[in-house]
Structure 1
């Protein structure tokens, strides 16, 4: 019998497994596919030290009307998904009220503040420094009003949370990105962040470090999780595995696993798309650049320029409807000379979200030696190693380096 089974080999599960293995535990990491090739594969590749405030539900009347009418490309939804998700979305809206969101941000920031410091030793251990770029990213704005609002938020975050940034005008943005084809009002340069040239490769490198330390991996569908005596059993591709403890870190699939054990946590998914594009070598994109007024981000990655979309509210298993990607591509091509599409089809993934925007990290309320690490929303890549350390400390009886209470599953009626 092993010490721990970790279900899920995305950035969170791999980070948990690696932290536990570094503490000497016998760990098996199980996933249906390669590490980092689920939800972790498709993100924008930013370790967002600046993202102290989680994404709130739109509350301004005009923003709500635009979302309901699906006029923009930043938010979309499937009407057929609303009956099943209405309760969760209503609670998400409730938690997004300004006063509640400020309290949530103060808690969320305790983990975000650790993101770079916790990635750094894993990057070194994994020999993955070639994947990391430490030049920040550009959050660009089309109108002076939106730029001024963003600059005010950045200044407030600097005062409250030590986030580093610089507001630049349109001329300076054009100097830094000379191949933009439309004038922009300016940008916030978030300088205290790292960008990743290939997010899946980073997760695979961390998984390789885990195996290099003697950790074990199993590939196949994980089924039949259940208590057995003083421990747990699980079938991976039909082969039975057992351990004293289990960690559920399966991202958007965690809800199905925990429901099988009697939990009803308020989880939902936001789907997102990406596509890679070629580029003219004489007209490169120099930095990660977001056009958040429209609802997309362009990232110069190994595979090409990755264009990522905003949020789509839909059933996780519903067929792809990449209208957001098509709309974002149309706008992005006016801003920057994107080349041909390089992928045979748009990538589609699901972000695992909670109604209060905080991840679930800690022991399961109803079972002994069952642990949760999921619900990181838009920030799985950012928070994976920070979550791994916190959960490993809780599991081994160490003093946690941040207060774990706000992330406990007991905050919900599980």
Structure 2
């Protein structure tokens, strides 16, 4: 009976996706349908409703809307331009300097905003006209922006790893935050390497260095923004406050800083709150739906069944990890990161634990794999935003994105098979 119900669950889910149903609706309807095959109608509906509510009834979950709010405030407060200027100062002497500025800008701003979409939009709007003046092809500019935008989902503070912490049963958020630095930086460096060789081939220009006075002004303007990361992450690691309290500190700091920059007015707050509510509502709705989906899978024993099936194929750890990575990369092309984390953590984490894999290391593999889906069709959010900002068609930019996808996948393999890349910093800080 469980096998038949499992088939109904996944078949109805993919059927609804195929016909264009929003992913959260597809998850909820397929979950309820599967429940109706094993529980009475009233029990199935009541259980589903309760699970959806309890799925977000968690204090740690409050960090997500707060980090979203801080990111929206900083986006409206003119932070992006200051970070772009700093990025240009750091990498302006490399071939294709504007492209490298875009990458570093996305890494800096994405880490603060915690959103690939916000990063692709904010940095893309600044960098696209600048790259046009230097004669860069629009497809190249868009590809660099799209490929580097998801770095902010890995470099902390990141709401994605908070979701993983909840789905994995309480993996340390502080450890996950620290684990994200090196993988996120390697992602950015990989994109820069590909951009460099492309720029060499096209003979793109190199920026003129600013004088010392201008350089010091650029650094001075950027330091207050970068201090947000130091304060929030430092406070969490030092145990001064929790991730949720750190998110509240980020909101307060972002508001004060944006007001001091005189780019944010109090009358802008209703629109900022409206945007925050829209983004948060979407994320939390996906989380409630995914919590229900996970409950149905657990009730049917599907995670254990899938684990046994994988181990029956091969008991070789390398083979199992490659199968999981391939699955996550495929899933990431059509599923948002949040439901992907919530659905596949209970499926794959038990398999990883049979090999004594650290849950922090596995979390980086899972989140990194699903984040790659942000830059791939058919539903990559960074892909659509980046293409829209650059005013190019999706099919035009996808071909240019292929080498970037290849290098990011190579970085993923490094992270997978060299655990110290993820675990060095958490262990250094005793997490």
User: For this structure pair, what is the TM-score category when the shorter chain's length is used for normalisation?
Assistant: under 0.3
TM-score normalised by the chain length of structure 1:
0.24
Question: Is the helix fraction higher in 1 or 2?
Answer: 2
TM, length-normalised to structure 2: 0.24
